Amino acid sequence: MKKIIMLTIMGICAILCFVGCENGKKPGKTIEEGQQNIESQEENVAEHSVLQENEPEEIIVPEVYHYNESGKIIIAMYHKFTSGTESDEWTRSFDNFYQDLEYLYEHGYRSVSLHDYLNNEMKVPVGCTPIVFTFDDGSKGQFHLIEAEDGSLIADPESAVGVMERFYREHPDFGLNGTFFINGTGYFGSTGTRAQKLQYLIDKGFEIGNHTNTHVNFSKASIDEIQKEIGVVVKDVAENANGYVVDTLALPFGITSKEYADYIRSGEYEGTRYENKVVLLVGANPALPVSNEDVNLMRLPRVRARGGNKEVECDLYWWLERMEKNPEMKYYRLEN
Ligand SMILES: [Zn+2]
C-alpha cells in the first residue's frame, strides 16, 4: 500500500512539473523533458494497474498542438554581420539584428530549430508563430570564440551568437535556436579548435548544417565532386563533434544540380554516408509546414534577412509586414 501511495505521489509530481515547465526557458526542450516525465508517469501507472486491477486505469493524453495549417513558416536566412554600417544586402549589423529579434518577439514569433520544423515539433505557446533562423558561410561575425576572464572560451558578445545569447537572457521564452551552414575549408574565426567551436554551438542548442566543402556551384559539379563536397563536411563535423550527424544542406548560391540532385540528397564519400533531410534554397518565400503534402523538402525556400536600408520584395520585413496585415498567413498555434 505504501508503494501505491508513493507511486501516486510521484505521478502527481510528474504532472505538476510538466505543467510548470510549459512556459519555461526552452519551449521545445522543456516540453521534451515534460514528455519524459509523462513517460515515467506512464510506467508508474502501468505498475500501479498491476497492483490494483480493480481500479480504473489512468490514461495520460500527451498535449496536442494545433496550428493554423493554412499558414507558412519563415526560415530566415542571414550571412555576414558587422559592428559598423551595413555595406550591402548580405550584411546585418549587430544592432539591427537585435532589433530583428525584438520585432519578432513583440509580434509573437518564437524561435524553433530547423529539426523542430522537420520533425513537426514546433512547440510554441498558444497564439505564437514559430520562426527558424539559418546562417550561411560560417563567417566570424556570426560566431567566434573569445577567452573570458576565467580562461574559458565564450562567444564574443559582438557576434550573432553573442546577440542571440543576450536576447535569450532577456527573453528566455523566445528560445535560443539557429542552424549554422558551414564550409569545410574553415569557419568561425581563428580562436579555438574546430572541435571547440562546433561543441560550443551544439552545447548551446544550435545546429550545424552543410554548405559544402568549398562553397561549390552544384550545377557545374560531377557526381564524384558533389559527394566529396558534401561528404567532407559531414565527416569533419562527425570527427570534431563526437559523431554529430549533419543532415541538412543549404545550397551554395541557391543553385542545385539538375542531373544529379539525387546525390545532393544522399551519397557517400570515402566511407562516410550522408543523407540530407532538407535542402534549402536562397529565396524567397515562407515555407509550407511539413504536414502539408505539397511541401518539397529538397527545395525548401527561405526568406532573406536583408541588410541596408532598401525595402526589397520578398525580403524579411516585406513578408513580416504582410503577415501582420494578413494574420492567416502565419502558422500560429491555435487553442487546443
Ligand atoms: Zn553561401
Q: Which three cell numbers stand for residue 147?
A: 577567452
What's the 282 CA to ligand 1 centre distance in angstroms? 9
* Number of Cα atoms under 13 Å in the Cβ half of residue 312: 16
What's the 11 CA to ligand 1 centre distance in angstroms? 50
What's the 222 CA to ligand 1 centre distance in angstroms? 19
Mean pLDDT value of segment 304-322: 87
pLDDT in tens, 124-166: 999 999 999 999 999 999 999 999 999 999 999 999 999 999 9
| Contact residues for 242 (Cβ-Cβ < 8 A; gap 6+) | 199
Q: Which three cell numbers stand for residue 228?
A: 566529396
CATH superfamily of 71-334: Glycoside hydrolase/deacetylase (3.20.20.370)
What's the 106 CA to ligand 1 centre distance in angstroms? 30
Higher model confidence: residue 291 or residue 22? 291
Higher model confidence: residue 6 or residue 86? 86
Residues in the 5 Å CB sphere of ion ligand 1 = 136-137, 252
What's the 217 CA to ligand 1 centre distance in angstroms? 10
pLDDT for 10 equals: 41
What's the 22 CA to ligand 1 centre distance in angstroms? 37
CB of 201 within 8 A of CB of 240? no
pLDDT for 53 equals: 53
What's the 290 CA to ligand 1 centre distance in angstroms? 25
Q: Give the range among 60-64, 132-136, 294-298 with minimum mean pLDDT.
A: 60-64
What's the 333 CA to ligand 1 centre distance in angstroms? 32
Parse the chain into domains and list their residue ranges: 2-51, 71-334
| Contact residues for 313 (Cβ-Cβ < 8 A; gap 6+) | none
- pTM to 2 decimal places: 0.82
What's the 185 CA to ligand 1 centre distance in angstroms? 13
How far is Cα 15 from Cα 90, in angstroms, rounded to an integer? 47
SS3 content of the chain, % helix, strand, coil (to 5): 40, 20, 45
Q: Which three cell numbers stand for residue 6?
A: 508513493
| Chain centre to alpha carbon of residue 192 | 24
